[in-house]
Structure 1
Amino acid sequence: MSLVRASTAPRERSIASPATIIAGLGGLYVAQSVIGGVVFTGLPAVLRQNGASLNDIAFILLTVLPWSFKFVWSPAVERYRSPRSGRRRSREVVAIVGAFAVAMIVACALIGPGALLPLTVAMMAASFASATLDIACDGHAVESLAERNRGWGNAAQVGGAYMGAAIGGGLFLVLIDHLGWQPATLVMAGVLVALGLPFLLTPDRQRAAREDRPPQSIMAALRRPEMRSGLLLVAVYVLGAKWASILISPFLIDSGLSLTALGTLNGIGITVSGLAGAFGGGWLVRRFGAFPIMSGALALTALGLAGFALAAVAGVKAPAALGALMLLGSLSFSLGVVALYSELMGRASLDQAGVDFTLFQSMDAIVSVVGWWLVSAVGDRLGFAVCFGAAAILGLAALVALPFLARRESARAREAQQGA
């Protein structure tokens, strides 16, 4: 499929091979998710073990805000990282912001889990640094990877998220159990340094971009039709793929799964199935294109949600069957996200790649949070069967809308080619 670009600037050949670029980016994506795993999975468990109330734990989760609103400062990051003249500064940004993120994790180790307010401030700063790293990392990926390699780049992104979450939300807790808070947190800081080194040590002498380009800005992104249609695509896809995900763990607990069984599913099963979907998606997108894979993933998601709805109606308590549905959802989700983000990379302008891709991710985050809040608000009243059934219908509606969005983008691509 032909992809629209706002910039016609020629892409200089990077000294690094595509495999080296993807490996370096993958390390950064894992590192970002390690921070997320520590903040959103590991830390709440530690706080609860130390006697924190649920309100205290909810207070810590305010650290998610930088990820939802990182588009606000993305133009400033991109203006520095990718100036009009001279070389790109991707590695400089990663080195400076990454060092700050590591320093904040070290600060968390020194503060300890008993001092909630300073710990929250340090974690908020680490989350801000991680979100800022993601802006630079995504911009560098769009600029550096040719279209045929974007699927592998997105596989590294999604697979890195699963691996990082397993380290930050799983290994971190094991280390705390055996070593204590401070040594375990310092180990996480060391892991972040090790994960960032491959990117920092990879040579990159590409020039930033054409010198006559306009300044990077959010309004410049929103003026381009392929960006607006991309934001619509994200919203439609998220509606079909993510809204019911918050209900699955509570439903499995109500169906009789133990915390140990659910923890094993989340820790091992979800990680393995997510990685399989991510790297399988990278290969499939390269061979078949993004939209067919998105359609297949949405179909699998709707099928899994319909299965949960039927299980809720029939009162099914079979752990193996319900666990299989959960793993199917993880596989289809990671498969679809790789395809979605590969498509979105093609809609990001080389003039402001980090700004454009950050807008897409923020749309994903905002629609997800709104959906999770709505589902949580009405779930008790409507019941699992209705909620899962409605989510399956939303998935099918998104599946029906995808061909229209694909044709719309193809028509714009043809018009751009004719205009050129």
Structure 2
Amino acid sequence: MIELRLALQYLPLGCFYGFLYTALPVLLRAGGAESAAVGLLGLLALPTGIAFLWAPLVDRGARAPAAAAARHRRWMIVTQVLAAAALALVAAIDPTAAAGLDRRVYLTVLVLLFVISILFATKEVAANALLREMAADAPGLMARANGLRAAALFLGTWIGSGVLTTWYDDIGWRDAFLITAVLGILMLPAMIGLGARDGRGRGRADAEAAGGAESLDGAFAALGHMLRHAGGRRRMAGLSIVAVPLALPVAMFPVFLADAGLTMARIGLVLGGGGTIASLAAAWAGGWLAGRLGAARVLVALVVLQVAALAAWTGFALAAARGLVIDGGALAALGVLQLSVYAGFTVVLNILAMERARPAHAGTDIAVLRGSFYLTATAAHMAGGWIADPLGWLAYFGLTTLVFALVLPLLRLADPAAIRPPSARPADPAAAD
């Protein structure tokens, strides 16, 4: 099953980030790290947002589809092997081993973790491009693979944030990172032959490739395509429009749960238990529905569902402001729903980015579109922490609800193709430019 083999490549990535953002801040704090030092971990998410800067290097090569697939597969294998080696180095350098945090050791570990983040971001560029290339010969593969991809990512996150974190006292620093490294190595056999075509297809591709590879200048010229053309700018604007109101509730609803009186154990069940299971199911369902109905229709349904969820958050905030008792079970259920909706959005938005990428520069185009979403979402996530306290929960969720209610009209103005069924779009993704 091709889509499952591709999805498995996201398990080590999810495991890495799950452990990184759940256990590592606690371990560093316990080791005496200041808040500013712990906050530096946020920089490790940056490579995902700026991977478009080096994506042309991943795309550059033979122009033929089969040759391009082989090149992207090699990038995936090399980056995974290098990431596993770097994880083994991190396993040997524990900045929390001494009585107090050794800053020089910590900075060394931080640099290695940043390198690993770059490697995983590069692997993701290659994987996205490979999927886009394979989907040209298999209608429906893109939607199914994106659903399984997101599900594997959430499963890996649960392994890192749940299993490794829970067992940390027994396994320790070294084994936690070695397990992550081994998990990546175990996924390598699934890459063998991934994206390869039959003999007839390869022969045709080899003939097409005889014209030579794309120049380095030509590859990087593709980087500015989205900005130079109106269609590209509309696509980036559309993703940014969705990113802002989507990131605001996800950023702060766990804090609201704590303020509303839920215990840490119950919040942990919401985020790492029911939320993870629901996100896995929502990711798979999002890909399946997008394959049946089209990503645009699913996006519209998710926007409506998100507005309903935000209205519920606003209702709970209003009850809290009036001093009413809030049912903890209802709050926990809403938190699980919020995570599920977010999982659905990640799948559908990735499908839309892939559908509208040019096949010859898929890795670059997808990285630019995803970068516009993740950088905007990161900025909105940070802004949420600044404005929640001054506004108060009622105003925070109320304004976010109003903003999200405007998402569909704004998308219709900025990027109408995002909510237009595939049959109504140009057959060539570049035709919209």
TM > 0.5: yes
Structure 1 residues 286 and 83: alpha-carbon distance in aligned structure 2, compared to 1, 3 A threshold: closer
Equivalent position SS for 1:89: helix
**Aligned 1:97-246 pairs, distance under 5 A:** 97-114=79-96, 115-145=105-135, 146-200=138-192, 202=194, 204-205=196-197, 207=205, 211=211, 215-216=218-219, 217-246=222-251
Match of 1:283 in 2: 288
Alignment check: 8 A CA contact 2:358 2:429 kept: no
Moved more, 182-191 or 45-54: 45-54
For the 8 Å contact 1:172–1:185, the answer to whether it is kept is: no
For 2:428 and 2:120, the matched residues in 1 are separated by 38
Cα contact 2:317–2:393 (8 A) shared by 1: yes
TM-score, length basis structure 1: 0.88
- Where does 1:37-116 land on structure 2 (aligned, <5 Å)? 37-80=18-61, 86=67, 88-114=70-96, 115-116=105-106
2:331 matches 1:329? no
- How many aligned positions are there? 400
Give 2:385's aligned residue: 376
Does structure 1 retain, via aligned residues, the 8 Å contact 2:295–2:348?
yes
Asked if the contact 2:148/2:284 (under 8 Å) is kept, the reply is yes
Measured against aligned partners, the alpha-carbon deviations of 1:266-286 in whole angstroms (never above 9, x if no partner) come to 111111111111111112111
- Gaps (5+ residues) in structure 2? 97-104
CA contact (8 A) 1:24 1:198 kept: yes
Identity between Structure 1 and Structure 2 (%): 24
| Structure 2 Cα separation of the partners of residues 112 and 379 of structure 1 | 36
Which stretch has the larger CA shift, 328-337 or 123-132? 328-337
Selected match of 1:252 from 252, 257, 262: 257
Matched, 1:413 2:426: yes
Q: Is the 8 A contact 1:27 1:199 kept in 2?
A: no
**TM-score normalized by the length of structure 2:** 0.85
Structure 1 unmatched ranges of 5 or more: 1-18
C-alpha separation in 1, matches of 2:280 and 2:431: 40
SS of the equivalent of 1:133 reads helix
Deviation digits for residues 282-308 of structure 1 (CA, Å, limit 9, x no counterpart): 121111111111111111111111111
- The counterpart of 2:303, out of the listed 290, 298, 304, is 298
2:28 and 2:38 in contact (8 A); partners too: yes
What SS does the corresponding residue of 2:187 show, helix, strand or coil?
helix
Change (3 A) 1:381 1:320: same
What RMSD, in angstroms, separates the aligned Cα atoms of the two structures? 2.6
Contact 1:109 1:182 in 2 (8 A): yes
SS in 2 for 1:413: coil
In structure 2, distance between residues paired with 1:143 and 1:403: 29
